[in-house]
Amino acid sequence: MTSENNPIKLTLKGSPREIGLQHGRALREQIHSQVAIYDLMFQQTSNLTWKEVREVAKEFQSTLKVLTSHLLVEMEGIAEGAGLDVLDIIALNCRSEIALGKFSDGCTTLCWKKSGGRVLSQNWDWTATVKKNLAMVSIEQEGKPTLYMVTEAGIVGKIGFNLNGVGTCLNAIRAKPMLSTKLPVHVALRLCLESPSVHDAIKTIQSLGGVASAQHVLCADYTTALGLELSPVGDKHIIEDSNGIIGHTNHFLENRYVDEPPWLSGSPIRLKRLGELTKELVDVGVTGDDITPRLLRESIFSDTFNLPQAICSQEDPSRPKANRSRTLFNIVMDLDPKSLGAEVVFGLGSGEDGAVIKMPW
CATH number for position 225: 3.60.60.10
In a domain, 175, yes or no: yes
Do residues 203 and 137 share a domain? yes
Do residues 17 and 119 share a domain? no
Q: String of b and e for 199-235 (b: at least 16 CB within 10 Å)?
A: ebbbebbeebebbbbbbbbbbbbbebbbbbbbbbeeb
In a domain, 3, yes or no: no
pLDDT of amino acid 1 = 52
Residue 163: is it exposed, middle or buried by C-beta count within 10 angstroms (0-12/13-18/19+)? middle
Residue 346: is it exposed, middle or buried by C-beta count within 10 angstroms (0-12/13-18/19+)? buried
Do residues 131 and 91 share a domain? no
In a domain, 244, yes or no: yes
Res. 44 pLDDT band, cuts 50 70 90: confident
Segment 169-186, tens digit of pLDDT? 999 998 989 999 999 999
Do residues 57 and 25 share a domain? yes
Residue 77: helix, strand or coil by DSSP?
helix
Q: φ, ψ for residue 21 (rounded to 5)?
A: -60, -45
The string of DSSP codes covering 222-243 is SS-EEEEEE-TT--EEEPP-TT
pLDDT of amino acid 103 = 62
Segment 78-94, tens digit of pLDDT? 999 999 999 999 999 99
In a domain, 232, yes or no: yes
In a domain, 72, yes or no: yes
Write down the pTM of the prediction: 0.96
In a domain, 91, yes or no: yes
Do residues 196 and 305 share a domain? yes
Do residues 169 and 35 share a domain? no
Segment 285-332, tens digit of pLDDT? 999 889 999 999 999 999 999 999 999 999 888 777 767 889 999 999
Do residues 88 and 140 share a domain? no
Do residues 131 and 264 share a domain? yes
In a domain, 265, yes or no: yes
Segment 187-205, tens digit of pLDDT? 999 999 999 999 999 999 9
pLDDT of amino acid 105 = 64
**Res. 219: pLDDT tops 60:** yes
| Rounded Cα distance, 56 and 58, in Å | 5
pLDDT of amino acid 318 = 78
Domains of the chain: total: 2
Segment 113-161, tens digit of pLDDT? 998 799 999 999 999 999 999 999 999 999 999 999 999 999 999 999 9
pLDDT of amino acid 45 = 83
Final residue in a domain of this structure, among 82, 99, 116: 99
Do residues 69 and 115 share a domain? no
**Res. 70: pLDDT tops 60:** yes
Final residue in a domain of this structure, among 99, 118, 133: 99
Beta-bridged to residue 331, according to DSSP, are 122, 344
pLDDT of amino acid 274 = 98
**Res. 41: pLDDT tops 60:** yes
In a domain, 1, yes or no: no
Res. 102 pLDDT band, cuts 50 70 90: low
Q: φ, ψ for residue 176 (rounded to 5)?
A: -105, 155
Final residue in a domain of this structure, among 58, 73, 99: 99
Domain that holds residue 145: 108-359
Residue 237: is it exposed, middle or buried by C-beta count within 10 angstroms (0-12/13-18/19+)? middle
Give residue 222's identity as a one-letter amino acid code.
Answer: Y
| Rounded Cα distance, 237 and 235, in Å | 7
Q: What is the mean pLDDT of residues 62-79?
A: 98
Segment 22-32, tens digit of pLDDT? 999 999 999 99
Do residues 87 and 162 share a domain? no
Do residues 70 and 211 share a domain? no
Res. 104 pLDDT band, cuts 50 70 90: low
Do residues 279 and 224 share a domain? yes
* CA 112 to each of CA 91, 250, 278, 290, 334: distance values in angstroms, whole numbers, following the listed order: 34, 19, 9, 11, 10
